[in-house]
Structure 1
């Protein structure tokens, strides 16, 4: 294992409480750059695209790798709720994890440096965000009052200073900004070089653009709402999967009395996709956001909804009844939301856990075969070991 910094040692106590979820279509050589920070944790890799393709993962990492065939076997007909050819496939990793926390990152994001030149430990900062309260009911003009060297400003009500539970930590990006396709076309060379040393709570009643490329959340609390929707392959919308999850999750966080933070930590984003192709992919989503956001801003969840699952099913009903009249896509999306909750509940019961353990054993067995082939190779139908 790589040598760990002293600042990393306290976080090792969380190694059994956090999974890292990575969606990918390519070999994960980038993990070498993340080794000092990711190697202590378990990785759940969701392979997009052709399931017959072998994804290579550097040695030394503890991981499971699922492809489309695995998801079909595990979920059966409910696998229809998991999208492909879009980063939405990552949410299957949230479903099969059994940890309290999830950190998810895209396969085109690398370790960033702070202004002093030090590598940024994203796990450490995200956990700081999640383990300190949020203040969604009154905005603190010095950003996060729970950060080191910060405090509540004059005029902040003392009755609100206890804050609320933080369940989502939304990180940011240096280098390539998270712009939509039209903006990227008119600003192709724009890069973000500004490191802002700040974290803030997103106020109650305010939606935000959640990017899935550098994101952590409390799976035990908000996990069932982190559904990235029906997008990508065979669907008219793509590129808005994380946006949809963020809008829905924020509505539910507001209802449940939880907080969402955004700001630190940063990753270095090196966009791997094509700008023109992104415009084609995002075209329908741009129009749908103009009806989806106002609708979600107006949603009121009944007080009888006391669990995230109940909130999400109610939200799905309202999406179907209201947005379904605007575009039939939203009817399918609402059905997918219901199927997602059913699949989540199926896999998070004692019976579902036993079923999942068997499939995880099959995934582990396949990985062992790949490692053996890589180690010994094949000579005339025999392994090098046998040939010797």
Structure 2
């Protein structure tokens, strides 16, 4: 039974899907997967469809025009601006597609510059989401967990989005009883997921890193302890349907402040806060993927990150004070959205927080509109 929507945002190396399909076929999961490729009008959508057909997998390809048709067919055109074009945040369209089809119990985000290792990729994510029992829990005195903490004394790496004010933390390992995992974050070998400042400090001008990660940099899988935050990167991530209301990939790139590169980071902060409120967990570690980030200007990434660097130091505090009485992921997300809109602290580009909060509330309205609409037959690929 097809119960998993695999979302791949791509304008470049979409052939990586073949490797993930081969992995799923080898380990017996292919019949559970439906692939949604989110792309743009200038890309080879015909080639993408042919690939899915050649591989014998269910799936759809959505460029900009196809997304507009989908919004119109479901009567949600007014929410089309929630998904910025030509932005990594367009993974949110995959969340809308998943939400509109009740057969999907799970979602998986895969970036097009990754490849699976020679292990049971999808099976490990499924096992993580079903994991229960006493589990290694990592915490720190800064209430932030570096997902690369294992070998940090050797490589000194902190992942993209980790607050600078939370560095040099005292790390502690304990255990927590895990009863319900809502997200499984697989980590990465080869090019680490760093922000531009840290890439520059590592001496790389091509948007990658001189320091690389290997399997040996990771040990036992873990959860971030309750009350602690962590960076959540969407390049290798599985999640349950229930978190979609609190997992909107935030509106980056196409905004008046030119803020980019924090879509999955801030959505991860909000997801972790909501999961804590619900008594649930985010699981981290395996399955690893190989991250083969293409060379690009580090300063280009820096230009996208700088407008929100100060906000990133504080946004988690706003989330941390919101939603105490929430009884669902939607209520928790709505409370955090309202807190962002109401925040009157003076930060650089603080108007962007209001912008984000308003979009978060509209995200919840959009999901309600989809949920209450009549089931629709999907357009055929030829109509895309």
Question: Over residues 92-147 of structure 1, what are the superposed CA-to-partner deviations in whole Å (9 max), with x where a residue is unaligned?
Answer: 111111300011110000122xxxxxx0222111111100126689769xxxxxxx
- CA change 1:26–1:77 in 2 (3 A) is same
CA contact (8 A) 1:104 1:212 kept: yes
1:26 maps to which residue? 12
Distance 1:278 1:315 in 2: 27
Quote the offset at 1:25 in angstroms.
Answer: 1.1
Q: How many residues align?
A: 318
- Distance in 2 between the 1:323 and 1:125 partners? 43
Query: How is 1:1-388 mapped onto 2 (pairs within 5 angstroms)?
Result: 15-26=1-12, 28-38=14-24, 40=30, 41-47=33-39, 49=40, 51-55=41-45, 56-57=47-48, 58=51, 59-60=54-55, 61-73=57-69, 74=71, 75-97=76-98, 98=101, 99-112=104-117, 119-133=118-132, 161=177, 163-187=178-202, 188=204, 189-195=210-216, 196-219=218-241, 221-235=242-256, 236-272=258-294, 274=296, 275-297=298-320, 299-303=321-325, 305-322=326-343, 326=347, 327-349=350-372, 351-354=373-376, 357=377, 360-362=378-380, 364-366=381-383
Q: Deviations over 1:62-117 (max 9, x none)?
A: 211112223334130111111233211011111111300011110000122xxxxx
Shift of 1:228: 0.9
Partner of 2:166: none
Contact 2:137/2:223 (<8 A) preserved: no
Instruction: Give per-residue Cα distances to partners, 1:319-369, cap 9 Å, x unaligned.
Output: 1101676411111111110111111121223x2532xx3xx314x2336xx
| Residue pair 1:21, 1:102 contacting (<8 A) in 2 also | yes
Which blocks of at least 5 consecutive residues in structure 2 are unaligned? 140-173, 205-209
Shift of 1:31: 2.1
Cα deviation, 1:16-45, whole Å, max 9, x if unaligned, reads: 221111001125122222232246221011
Q: CA offsets, 1:206-255, max 9 Å, x none?
A: 11100010001001x21111111110123521111000110001111111
Q: Check conservation: 1:34, 1:110, Cα contact below 8 A.
A: yes
**Distance (Å, rounded) in 1 between the aligned partners of 2:344 and 2:38:** 30
Q: Structure 2 vs 1, CA of residues 340 and 23 (structure 1 numbering), >3 Å: closer, same or farther?
A: same
In structure 2, the residue corresponding to 1:28 is in which secondary structure? Answer: coil
Match of 1:371 in 2: none
Q: Is the 8 A contact 1:324 1:331 kept in 2?
A: no
Structure 1 SS opposite 2:252 = coil
Instruction: Mark the CA change 1:246 to 1:186 in structure 2 (over 3 Å): closer, same or farther.
Output: same
For the residues of structure 2 that align with 1:95 and 1:53, how far apart are their CA atoms? 22
Q: TM-score, normalised by structure 2?
A: 0.77
- Following superposition, the deviation at residue 182 of structure 1 comes to 1.1
- Tell me which structure has the larger Cα radius of gyration: 1
SS at match of 2:375: helix
Distance 1:267 1:191 in 2: 13
Cα distance in 1 for residues equivalent to 2:97 and 2:5: 10
TM-superposed CA distance for 1:204, in Å, is 0.7
Distance 1:343-1:182 versus aligned 2 partners, 3 A rule? same
- Aligned CA distance change for structure 1 residues 238 and 264 (closer, same or farther; 3 Å): same
Give 1 or 2: higher strand fraction. 2
In the alignment, is the contact (CA less than 8 A) between 2:323 and 2:333 conserved in 1? no
- Given that residues 5 and 107 in structure 2 are in contact (C-alpha distance below 8 angstroms), is that contact kept between their aligned partners in structure 1? yes
Match of 1:383 in 2: none
